[in-house]
Structure formats: structure tokens, C-alpha cells
């Protein structure tokens, strides 16, 4: 009887995780990456939802391990998450995210999942992981200022009469190329760990290190950045507007990939402590979470894409480019350090920053206020609900 109850609880936890993955795919990871591109009329709403689902799946499989491990094992110390706790936490968080999807308000997924996991973890008798909380809080607080500020500055430069778009936009593409060269992929490591394109190719060159600087890595990074800049410069030489739209779509694809790598951990992270009980490898869990994200993107993302693209700011290609570059960079920093981050917070902050570069035209202050209140409320509510429900269930059972 006990074994049957445990099996049922595991199934419920897995179902809750799948529902959470769908809610994330339909909400933050499915809607935010291509919202600026849709706002700039570079891609249709339905096509954006389709493409972002595929890219999110790839990101989940190739980059999802760090955040998944952090959510599953690093938010609370001394009390591993049980199947019952995972089910309660995931259901509470997913319900809040789903409410945001159907009402058109982007609930910050990282806030809800973090609050829910910490809530059930403390209810289990665990200890607060203060160091991890400091890392998470620092990223959450800095994101609007860094991301929004970078988007604002970039948009201002692109709008300046003295700045030539045919020169400046390719330089931005070069910066993006350097970032891509140095992000980690699970399949590139030689000993089962992740590695970067620049790291692998740089090692093959056999160049020495000078004062601790790997010359091979620097050379490969510069080469990839230069190729990206040259390719976009050539495209913009033929048609500047078409070149901007092409760059915008590439940025959307990179952000969508990064979203999968970050957001999948919010859906499946609470299941990590249960893997030993069911003899399931982590990569299989990542694939399952990625499929859940894909399903959510294909079925529920278009509504949120429309909300972000049209309700927050009327974006053109330049302001959209300015919004996506810092979004991509911040997302990859979060993935590298294993910090759960809200893509809604990242992209909305960048959209607002780029919107204010044009004098704030098209930016809805009322919508901004409601969004911030929804973010803060979701964190507190997810913690309180998951903590209270777990204690009630534990007392009854």
C-alpha cells in the first residue's frame, strides 16, 4: 500500500512538472524571445510561436543542467525535496503562471517557482540557503537596471544622427558573435562536462597562455565575432532594412535558445532529488522538460507574444535589436551561474528601456505597474500557498 501511494505521488509530481513546463512554454520562454521581433513586424505571431518552441527544446537539452540542479538541490539545505513537496510546489507555481497566461499579464516564472520550492523546502524542515538567495536577489534586482539601461543606451546610439547603422549594427553583431563563441554547450565537453566553441577550437590551435590569458580562446572569439560582423555588414550593404530584420530574427532565436536553457530548470528542477528513486538519468528529464516547453510554445504562446509585442511598447527594428542583445547576455550569465531568472523580467525591462530611448512613446506605465505588482505578488503568494498546503497535507497524511 505504501509503495502504491509513493508511486502515485511520483506520477502526480511528474504530471505537475509537465504542466509547469507547458505553462512556462506558453508564458515566459515561449512568448518573450520573439516579442520584439513581432513588434517590429519581422515575423508573424504564429510563426514565432512555432520557431521558439523548437529552439527552446534545443536550449533545454543543451544548456538546462545548471539551473535544473540549482532549483532542485541548492534553494534549501538539509531537507531534499520529496515527491509530495515537488508536486505541491509545482502545482502552486504552475497555477499562478497559467493565470498570467490566460489574463495576459506576464507572471515572472522564476519568482513563482523559487517561492514555491523554498516554501515546501522550509515546510519540510530545511534550512534557508542564504548565499544562493543573495545571488538570486542580486540578479533579479540588477536585471531591470542593467538590461533596461543597456537597451536604452544601445537604442539611443542607433537613433543618433552621427551613428551610421551600416557600421554600428554590424559591430553589435560582432559582440553577439563573441558571446555565442563563449557560451557553454553540453555536447562539446570532452569528459562529459560542458564546453564552449571558443574553448574547444582554441585548444585545437595549441597557442600558449600569456599572463593567464588563453590566446587560443581570444583568437577564436575574435574570429567568430569578426565573421558575424562582416556577414551582417555585407547583408546591410545590399539592403539596410532587410539586414536589420535578419539580425533581429537571429537575436530572437538566440534568446529563445537561452530561454529553454534557463526555464526548463524551473519546471523539472524539483524532480532532481527524485531521480535516484526512479533510475531516470538527468538528460532524459531535460528532454521531457524540453518537450513540455515546446508544447506550451505551440499551443499557448501566441497570446502572450501579442501582449508583449503590442501592449508594452511600439517597437521598431532598432529598438528591438537594442532590447534583445542585453536580454541574450543576461540570460546566458544566469545559465552559466545556475541562477533561476525570469525571462519576463529580462525582456520587459529591455523593451521598456529601448522604448524610453524614443521618449517613452508607446510605453504603458499602467501596464508596467501591474506587471511589477504581479511579479512581487507571485513570489510571496507562491511561497505562502506552497508552505501552507504542504503543512496541511502533511498533517492529514
Cα pseudo-dihedral 157, 159, 161, 164, rounded to 10: 70
Which tens digit of pLDDT belongs to each residue from 80-131? 888 888 888 888 887 877 776 677 665 678 888 999 999 999 999 999 999 9
Which tens digit of pLDDT belongs to each residue from 206-228? 888 877 788 889 999 999 999 99
Residue 348 placed within a domain: yes
**Cell numbers linked to 7:** 508511486
Which tens digit of pLDDT belongs to each residue from 350-393? 878 887 776 655 556 677 777 778 778 888 889 999 999 999 98
Residue 137 placed within a domain: yes
Residue 367 placed within a domain: yes
Interatomic CA distance for residues 137 and 395, integer angstroms: 32
Residue 141 placed within a domain: yes
Residue 169 placed within a domain: no
Per-residue exposure over 296-335, b if at least 16 CB sit within 10 Å of its own CB, e if not? bbbebbbbbbbbbbbbbbebbbbbbbbbbbbbbbbbbbbb
Residue 362 placed within a domain: yes
Residue 49 has pLDDT above 50, yes or no: yes
Interatomic CA distance for residues 170 and 36, integer angstroms: 19
Percent of the chain with pLDDT over 90: 30
The pLDDT assigned to 142 comes to 92
pTM for the complete prediction? 0.86
Residue 380 placed within a domain: yes
Residue 281 placed within a domain: yes
Residue 10 has pLDDT above 90, yes or no: no
Question: Domain range for residue 285?
Answer: 2-160+260-396
When divided into structural domains, the chain yields a total of: 1
Note whether 267 and 24 are within 8 A (CB): yes
Which tens digit of pLDDT belongs to each residue from 263-316? 899 989 988 888 877 778 888 899 999 999 998 888 877 777 776 666 544 567
Amino acid at each position: 500500500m505504501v509503495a502504491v501511494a509513493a508511486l502515485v505521488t511520483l506520477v502526480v509530481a511528474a504530471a505537475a512538472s509537465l504542466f509547469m513546463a507547458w505553462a512556462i512554454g506558453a508564458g515566459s520562454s515561449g512568448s518573450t524571445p520573439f516579442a520584439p521581433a513581432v513588434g517590429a513586424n519581422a515575423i508573424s505571431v504564429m510563426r514565432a510561436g512555432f520557431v521558439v518552441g523548437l529552439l527552446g527544446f534545443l536550449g533545454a537539452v543543451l544548456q538546462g543542467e545548471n539551473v535544473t540542479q540549482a532549483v532542485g538541490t541548492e534553494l534549501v539545505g538539509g531537507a531534499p525535496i520529496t515527491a509530495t513537496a515537488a508536486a505541491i510546489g509545482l502545482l502552486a507555481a504552475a497555477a499562478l503562471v497559467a493565470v498570467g497566461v490566460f489574463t495576459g499579464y506576464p507572471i515572472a516564472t522564476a519568482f513563482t517557482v523559487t517561492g514555491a520550492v523554498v516554501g515546501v523546502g522550509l515546510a519540510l524542515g530545511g534550512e534557508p540557503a542564504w548565499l544562493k538567495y543573495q545571488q538570486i536577489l542580486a540578479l533579479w534586482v540588477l536585471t531591470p537596471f542593467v538590461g533596461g539601461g543597456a537597451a536604452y543606451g544601445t537604442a539611443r546610439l542607433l537613433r543618433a544622427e552621427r551613428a551610421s547603422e551600416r557600421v554600428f549594427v554590424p559591430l553589435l553583431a560582432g559582440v553577439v558573435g563573441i558571446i555565442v563563441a563563449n557560451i557553454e554547450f553540453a555536447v562539446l565537453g570532452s569528459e562529459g562536462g560542458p564546453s564552449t566553441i571558443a574553448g574547444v577550437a582554441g585548444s585545437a590551435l595549441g597557442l600558449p597562455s600569456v599572463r593567464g590569458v588563453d590566446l587560443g580562446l581570444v583568437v577564436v572569439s575574435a574570429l567568430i565575432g569578426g565573421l558575424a560582423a562582416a556577414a551582417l555588414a555585407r547583408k546591410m550593404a545590399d539592403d539596410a532594412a532587410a539586414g536589420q530584420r535578419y539580425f533581429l530574427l537571429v537575436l530572437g532565436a538566440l534568446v529563445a535558445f537561452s530561454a529553454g536553457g534557463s526555464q526548463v530548470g524551473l519546471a523539472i528542477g524539483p524532480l532532481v532529488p527524485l531521480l535516484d528513486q526512479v533510475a531516470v538519468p538527468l538528460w532524459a528529464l531535460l528532454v521531457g522538460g524540453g518537450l513540455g516547453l515546446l508544447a506550451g510554445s505551440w499551443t499557448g504562446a501566441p497570446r502572450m507574444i501579442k501582449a508583449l509585442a503590442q501592449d508594452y511598447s511600439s517597437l521598431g527594428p532598432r529598438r528591438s535589436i537594442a532590447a534583445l542583445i542585453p536580454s541574450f547576455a543576461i540570460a546566458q550569465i544566469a545559465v552559466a551561474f545556475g541562477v533561476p531568472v525570469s525571462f519576463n523580467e529580462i525582456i520587459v525591462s529591455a523593451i521598456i528601456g529601448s522604448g524610453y530611448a524614443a521618449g517613452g512613446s508607446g510605453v504603458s506605465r499602467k501596464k508596467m505597474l501591474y506587471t511589477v505588482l504581479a511579479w512581487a505578488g507571485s513570489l510571496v503568494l507562491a511561497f505562502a500557498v506552497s508552505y501552507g498546503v504542504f503543512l496541511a497535507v502533511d498533517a492529514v497524511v
